[in-house]
């Protein structure tokens, strides 16, 4: 797999409250070195410490500055060639890459785009993808996000993945996220746009599987509608499978009707539908 994007410099350093706390602790104890992750848990690095400072990503951080960050930082700071950038911003909505135990999630106006309780976003994405991807197939990833489901589709054997993402701010954060690096590879075709509009341009029966991981219903109701499901049935090969993430509607007070509604519309569109509680969704096979 080749990395196709030069903006992702592996010399970049990512600060979170967790690694800043570790550095602050080491500086307080007078240590000369400390081992921690500076790429959001992908690898561990040994950092050289000066008496009251540390050089990270070409920039000096003194003890007071780090201690303040250790109290206040809730997101992720990227330090590259001496420049500091918070991986969160307002652009009509508030976008934030938020650290978890392993791979970051992305929040839009405080709503997380992955499961983060009891499971981290990386494993969440593996589970969604593993329900449908088969070796050698062509996969459609309807809602690309940080690219985790597309990366997993390749790891699980898909020969080609078409991954669609409509929000340029999410695509920007994807470029900055160290866990998204494998997204930029020959097997994944990143498409910028709205799957609801683009789907009509795909040929009949060209995909072996679909990973449908939409935002919640209140944010993208059209991606849960009969018309869209009919398009999904059209572009899937007979016998092809789809995983449709639904979340746990019971926790949001919507309950059984919500799942029954999705199941009924998928069935009418030509799918055989089964619950998939372990991945909080449904699997649907084109009849
Ligand atoms: C739950 S997240 C997907 C997470 C993703 N599967 C991953 O592995 O990181 C939903 C994503 O769908 C995007 N989205 C919402 N509506 C869309 C649409 N109509 N077409 C394409 N992407 C859309 C959102 O911007 C968001 O990034």
Q: Please give the number of the atom of ligand 1 that sits closest to the Cα of 170.
A: 27
Tell me, in angstroms, the distance from the centre of ligand 1 to residue 187's CA.
19
**Look-up: residue for tokens 């930082």?**
73
Residue 158: name the closest of 138, 188, 174 by CA. 138
Q: How far, in Å, CA of 188 to CA of 12, rounded?
A: 24
One pLDDT digit (tens) per residue for the chain, 287 residues: 233 333 345 589 999 999 999 999 999 999 999 999 999 999 999 999 999 999 999 999 999 999 999 999 999 999 999 999 999 999 999 999 999 999 999 999 999 999 998 899 999 999 999 999 999 999 999 999 999 999 999 999 999 999 999 999 999 999 999 999 999 999 999 999 999 999 999 999 999 999 999 999 999 999 999 999 999 999 999 999 999 999 987 655 566 789 999 999 999 999 999 999 999 999 999 99
Tell me, in angstroms, the distance from the centre of ligand 1 to residue 134's CA.
22
Could you tell me if the CB of 194 is within 6 A of ligand 1? yes
Q: How far, in Å, CA of 163 to CA of 144, rounded?
A: 5
Could you tell me if the CB of 97 is within 6 A of ligand 1? no
For 203, other C-beta atoms within 10 Å of its C-beta total: 8
Could you tell me if the CB of 220 is within 6 A of ligand 1? yes
Tell me, in angstroms, the distance from the centre of ligand 1 to residue 240's CA.
21
Q: How far, in Å, CA of 80 to CA of 59, rounded?
A: 8
Sheet bearing 236-245, strands edge to edge: 188-192, 160-165, 138-141, 207-212, 236-245, 281-286, 271-276
Q: How far, in Å, CA of 227 to CA of 212, rounded?
A: 15
Could you tell me if the CB of 281 is within 6 A of ligand 1? no
Ordered by where they begin, the domains of the chain are 13-86 (no CATH), 120-286 (3.40.50.150)
Could you tell me if the CB of 164 is within 6 A of ligand 1? yes
Residue 241: name the closest of 261, 270, 220, 216 by CA. 270
pTM for this entry: 0.94
Could you tell me if the CB of 23 is within 6 A of ligand 1? no
What residues contact residue 114 under an 8 Å CB cut-off, 6+ apart? 105, 106, 121, 124, 125, 145, 146, 148
Q: Is 260 strand, coil or helix? A: helix
What residues contact residue 14 under an 8 Å CB cut-off, 6+ apart? 38, 39, 40, 76, 77, 78, 79, 178
SS (H, E, C) 46-67: EEECCCCEEEECCEEEEHHHHH
Mutation pick for ligand 1 pocket among 92, 140, 145 (CB with most ligand atoms within 8 Å): 145
CA 230 to chain centre: 26
SS (H, E, C) 155-174: HCCCCEEEEEECCHHHHHHH
Q: Please give the number of the atom of ligand 1 that sits closest to the Cα of 195.
A: 20
């Amino acid at each position: 797999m080749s990395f196709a994007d030069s903006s992702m410099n592996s010399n970049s350093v990512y600060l979170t409250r967790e690694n800043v706390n570790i550095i602050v602790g080491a500086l307080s104890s007078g240590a000369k070195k400390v081992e921690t992750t500076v790429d959001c848990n992908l690898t561990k690095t040994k950092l050289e410490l000066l008496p009251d400072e540390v050089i990270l990503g070409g920039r000096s951080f003194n003890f007071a500055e780090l201690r303040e960050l250790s109290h206040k930082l809730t997101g992720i700071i990227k330090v590259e060639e001496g420049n500091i950038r918070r991986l969160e911003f307002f652009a009509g909505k508030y976008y934030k890459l938020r650290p978890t135990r392993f791979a970051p999630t992305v929040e839009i106006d405080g709503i997380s785009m992955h499961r983060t309780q009891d499971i981290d976003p990386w494993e969440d994405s593996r589970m969604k993808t593993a329900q449908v991807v088969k070796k050698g197939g062509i996969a459609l990833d309807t809602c690309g996000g940080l690219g985790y489901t597309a990366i997993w589709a390749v790891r699980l054997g898909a020969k080609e993945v078409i991954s669609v993402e409509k929000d340029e701010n999410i695509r920007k954060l994807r470029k900055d996220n160290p866990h998204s690096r494998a997204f930029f590879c020959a097997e994944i075709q990143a498409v910028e746009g709205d799957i609801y509009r683009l789907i009509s341009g795909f040929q009949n029966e060209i995909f072996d599987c679909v990973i449908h991981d939409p935002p919640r219903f209140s944010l993208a109701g059209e991606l849960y509608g009969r018309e869209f499901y009919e398009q999904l049935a059209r572009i899937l090969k007979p016998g092809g499978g789809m995983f449709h993430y639904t979340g746990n509607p019971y926790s949001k007070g919507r309950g059984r009707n919500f799942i029954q509604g999705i199941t009924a519309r998928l069935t009418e569109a030509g799918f055989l539908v089964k619950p998939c509680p372990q991945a909080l969704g449904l699997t649907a096979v084109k009849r």
